[in-house]
Amino acid sequence: MPIPEEKNEETKVESLSLPHTVPAETAGVEEASRNMTIAELADQELERANAKAKTRSEEEDNAHVMPLSARVSVAAGLALARHPCKAFCGCWSLILLVTIICVASGELRFSDNGSKDWQILDDEYNLQKDAMDLAADQVDCIKTSSGACPDEQLRSQKDFATALSLTYRAPEGQTMFTPERLRQACKLEQIVLQNKYYPQLCVLRPGALQEVASQKRDFNLTDCQPPGTSIVDIFYAGRSKCDLLPGVVVEQTAAVLLGGLTDPVKRLQTGFFLEAGTVDRYPRMTRSIFTLGRPLDGGKTESGASTKATSDFWDSIEQDFMDHFDKKPSFFRSVYWESWIKEDVELLFYSYKLTQMESRRVVNSDTSFVLLAIICVISWLCFHTGSVFIGIISLGQIIFSIPTGFFVYRFIGQVTFFQQLHVILIFIMLGVGADAVFVFSDAWYQSLDLIAGRKTSIRLQGADGESVFASRIAVAYQRTAVSVFNTSFTTGVAFLATAVSPIMPIRTMGIYACLLVIMNYLFVITVTPAAFAVWHTYGLACPCRLPRKNNGAVTKTLEKRVVTPLDNEQGRPPPVPQEDAGNSQVSEEAGSPTRKGLLEKTVIPLLTHPVASVACIVVLGIWGAVNVYFTSRLKPPPEMFQYFSNDHMQSKSVGLQRSGFIAGSGDEYLTLRVTFGIQGVDRNPGDKSVDPWAPHLFYGEPVWDKNFDVSVPETQDFLRGFCARMRRSSCSAEACRNGLLFQPSNTSVSCFIEEFDAWNNGTRSSGNEFLSLLSTFRATQKALDGGSWKDSIGFIDGKLRFVEIQGKMTARTFLASKLKEGLLADIKSWLADESGRAPSSVGTILQTGGFDWTFYSLERELVNGLFTGFAICFPVSFLVLLFATGNIFVAFFAILTIVLIVMNVLGWCWFVEGWYLGVSESIAGVIVIGLAVDYVIHLGHMYLEMGHLGCHTRVERWTMALKNMGTTVLAGSATTFLAGLTMRACQMTFFIQMSTLISVTIFYSLLYAICFFMCILRLIGPEGQFGDVPAAVKKMSRMIKSFKN
């Protein structure tokens, strides 16, 4: 279409000052008018004015007949037809302004990670742990002789959180205990010990700090305390070089290790180095662990220098290992997926710090696949819409929904938490946004057919190019505004259902996702129509399909054919103008598509037969019922969530640390802390409150139990008995070993009252005398394990507020949810018995197992959140369907279809993938509802809309719904499927699982929408006003009025 000159714009707008204009005269009529007399011309002008007045009157009458959506669409169509550039530039100016504000403010970035982000603050286990931790933070220091509070001695304690684990594995059927393989293990450990940063971070031996200070030198390897958990140290016995050991030395040392398994106490020590299942043979696998020291700066916080030294250490260690094994890192594929083998010894190394580094790298790599998703989506957008210009603009509005949604999220909603989890939403939004664009695009191209065949409620007078163009925009706008609103509302509610989760990151992700859906809807009813208006007006088309090549010719033909219902009251298709009668191609394009779509060629002819429809319903119904059973088999996972699959070195190492050896190190067993005297935690004391988006900054203050008094003999006697019973506590849970709750060693239970009695020579005291002696004991004595009593005897501002007893359990850390459930049940039962026999002066008894307890509450809430989301989404989806369709039977068939889709997806997780109801499945389960509802709503809405536009029989409605909306559904499903499929190339477990869930959801949504839902409508879909809610309401209203009269 030629570009109109700007000088004609004012005249054109004025000629369209009425709602619709009379068609412009042809060139031939203008030539004839030159030969007319003045009187004839005056008569002609009068007739023209009367016709214009009549047109205005008819248009005003018709405006009352059109529904509200049609009147709004007509107004939008006229505005875009007259001012396409102003509308387009206005929309993008606002979008760019909001984006600039977000970027310039510096808020459009990832927020800092917090230790409380994934914790449920109101959960009983978190309440107890936080109360105990907050109380420990407030205890008085143990002052020096000068009366000052000393800093904790530099690197005097082991920091198990940063430990480096080295696991060595020999080939299948062979042992690690050979001179050659032990020499290879020695070389690997020398890489750690000879690292130049290691002396700055290791645990210092006693007296090393004073030697360094007196000699005024830097730390070196001789200042470090021996690891104590090194298999190389056991075999090499202090040798400094990695020489080949004599075979007899290896045999003797290995025999000593195996012999230790027969002693219950030594078993915990030697079993640390021996592979699980080792009895009378040498193990294939062994290990060493290196722990760093803490505190690094003699205080609670690290300086910038120590933080950099830590970072440099882990970077250099990783690089040294890579050099030793000749590994070359790649941006798209981590070297940790490979086996690290040299001289037939495989190394698996692990540290939490290395896992963090690897996770950041992999997240950056995985998010780069967004670019691949964008390429797939923009290619499909350009192909399906028929224009590169429309494809680029459509992709732009999807991408720019991120900053515009963030503007509302951050500046209006005041939500400050924004993390990598939110980035995954771009994969979903690419599909959701493209689906909305396809609704408008397909309606735009179908508008020619709909206007000519009177299959639309749009009533726009005039047959000139601008009026026809406005009519087409109005038809597409009306369908998009209504249909996409229904799908967006349901999808938004599905996302918003996660916003009720007590898990803050999930809650914020749901809020942000809902905002993105809203923004995409606003853009598709503003930016998309404006883009089509500019494209059509200025000839920016880059067509891809035959029916769209002659868009301008079709429009000109339609200008001669379009008439109003008043011109053709019988509703028959208008006659083809004589001058176009011979142009069969143009006539076909104006009345119907030149080529049939995929559904018209395959699905519609097949499912038109009732037998085929019945077969589809029966088969898919049975398969859906089977998947309901599969879904019921989903259970919490037997192990904790892993960032990577089992083929990744980090996952392998964690698995081996948990169950690959006979015994674990001290930090591999749970420590149960039991306190007396702390009532709980107050989350909002005074004028302070917890920031819901940054709870780690402030999460409450401890509440003291006023009844607690350890100075009375009753309380002291109870605590003595409690410690004795604690050592003998039995445990029936699967997680416990040998039927014991706590380890049988002498140091497994740290009981201050017992050691106080020994220090005080068994002398009993009470009142202030006892408190004074206890304070002296706290300041001067060490526990049997070498630790301080500072946090176990809680003096705060000189007053004893609480006491704590700890016990090393037989259960390992990082237990599966099911195992923790049984263990917690035994602990609760035991403490309930103890509370029953305790005097009131003991106060409240609290307990915590640390991270494992808080993670258990997280896993439990994820599962509960899934069913809570279902309870919200399914009823809301039914109400939206009822509102969208206005027909109770169509809404019922639709919600039944959606339920089966969700069950099929979750059944796939169990039956095909072998997954459990873990983190990814619980999050995605609710999101699936939002994706599953789209295609059903589109087709159901179109089925009933056809009933209002002259298709009265069931088959006519069914056929026209598939013809008009089937292509849109196929295009939308292809886009979402492609966007989800790109995540299959990711490395993170969460991304891979989300890819599978999105792809499977789209597959089942498309299958059930067309072959189940539409087959039901083909057989028993409502006809006329059967099941129509508005009609029933009107009928009831008339009955009530007649009854009153």
Mean pLDDT, the chain, integer: 82
Alpha carbons 580 and 555: distance in angstroms, whole number = 13
pLDDT at 38: 57
Alpha carbons 925 and 920: distance in angstroms, whole number = 8
Nearest to 137 by CA among 297, 293, 301, 298: 301
Residue 671 in 3-state DSSP? strand
pLDDT at 42: 56
Alpha carbons 823 and 852: distance in angstroms, whole number = 11
Alpha carbons 822 and 825: distance in angstroms, whole number = 5
Q: What is the model's pTM?
A: 0.78
Tokens of 642: 């892993």
Alpha carbons 980 and 801: distance in angstroms, whole number = 55
pLDDT at 46: 61
Cis peptide before 295 (omega within 30 of 0): yes
pLDDT at 8: 40
Q: Give how far Cα 23 sits from Cα of 15, 227, 563, 576, Å.
A: 11, 93, 11, 17
Alpha carbons 996 and 998: distance in angstroms, whole number = 6
Cα R_g (the chain), whole angstroms: 38
pLDDT at 501: 83
Nearest to 741 by CA among 671, 839, 639, 645: 671
Q: Give how far Cα 621 sits from Cα of 612, 675, 874, 903, 999, Å.
A: 14, 56, 19, 11, 21
Three-point CA angle 900, 905, 906, nearest 5° = 100
Alpha carbons 746 and 649: distance in angstroms, whole number = 36
Tokens of 285: 């696998």
Tokens of 763: 């002398």
Nearest to 933 by CA among 907, 972, 898: 898
Tokens of 550: 């002659």
Residue 275 in 3-state DSSP? strand
Helices (H) and strands (E) in the chain, counts: 37, 11
> Which regions of the chain are under pLDDT 50?
1-34, 57, 59-64, 299-303, 541-594
> Which regions of 839-887 does DSSP assign to beta strands (E)?
845-848
Tokens of 1025: 């006003």
Alpha carbons 556 and 465: distance in angstroms, whole number = 7
Structural contact between residues 162 and 292, judged by C-beta atoms closer than 8 angstroms: yes
**What angle do the packed helices 124-137 and 851-885 form, to 10 degrees?**
140
